[in-house]
């Protein structure tokens, strides 16, 4: 199911035409993927969630798929179709958060993802609020996105007692 999600997002990015402008979003794509890799490095011995995929894959391989397929496709789609009008942006933002939260909850109910050390779907929803805010912010103001990300990482590391 997780690989199918990766494929669906990749195909959506390609067939919608969003990937034609990937260069405009390249820095944000790299940033989002880097943040995911950083999480896996910092929390390798203290993962707050882990994947249990189909086939002969494990958490690490699925997370690499997510890092290099799902997250770049998400970033491209999110930024490419971001409305110009502020009120529409709010609904768009909330729609992506709801969609990602519903998708993760489906993965959870199906046993494709488990939570550890106190993490749960509500933490994930909060994470998606931060993630989509940072994606948009990074595209427009890198320094602000870096600051928000740093504060978020420190906060989560303290709350979830992640030791480096």
pLDDT of 49-74, one tens digit each? 999 887 768 888 899 999 999 999 99
**Residue 104: predicted pLDDT:** 96
**Are 2 and 62 within 8 A, CB to CB?**
yes
Helix, strand, coil share of the chain (percent; to 5):
75, 5, 20
3-state secondary structure 2-17: HHHHHHHHHHHHHHCC
pLDDT band of residue 47 (cuts 50, 70, 90) is: very high
Task: List, for residues 152-163, the tens digit of each pLDDT value.
Answer: 999 999 999 988
Q: What is the pLDDT of residue 68?
A: 95
Q: Determine which of 25-29, 53-57, 140-144 has the lowest per-residue pLDDT on average.
A: 53-57
Residue 56 has a pLDDT of 66
Distance from C-alpha of 73 to C-alpha of 41, rounded to nearest angstrom: 22
77 touches 26 (CB < 8 A): no
- The whole-number average pLDDT for the span 70-83 is 97
Q: What is the DSSP letter of 69?
A: I
User: What does DSSP assign to residue 43?
Assistant: T
This prediction's pTM: 0.93
CB of 10 within 8 A of CB of 78?
A: no
Name, in order, each residue with C-beta under 8 angstroms of 43's C-beta and a sequence gap of 6 or more: 162
Q: What's the rounded mean pLDDT across residues 108-118?
A: 95
């Amino acid at each position: 199911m997780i690989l199918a999600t990766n494929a669906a997002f990749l195909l959506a990015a390609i067939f919608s035409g969003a990937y034609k402008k990937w260069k405009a979003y390249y820095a944000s794509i790299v940033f989002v993927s880097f943040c995911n890799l950083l999480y896996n490095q910092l929390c390798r011995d203290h993962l707050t969630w882990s994947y249990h995929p189909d086939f002969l894959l494990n958490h690490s391989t699925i997370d690499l798929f997510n890092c290099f397929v799902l997250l770049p496709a998400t970033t491209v789609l999110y930024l490419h179709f971001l409305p110009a009008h502020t009120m529409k942006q709010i609904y768009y933002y909330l729609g992506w958060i709801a969609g990602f939260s519903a998708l993760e909850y489906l993965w959870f109910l199906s046993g494709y993802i488990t939570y550890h050390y106190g993490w749960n779907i509500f933490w994930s929803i909060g994470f998606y609020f931060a993630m989509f805010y940072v994606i948009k912010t990074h595209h427009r103001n890198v320094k602000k996105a870096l600051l928000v990300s740093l504060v978020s990482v420190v906060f989560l590391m303290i709350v979830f007692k992640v030791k480096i």
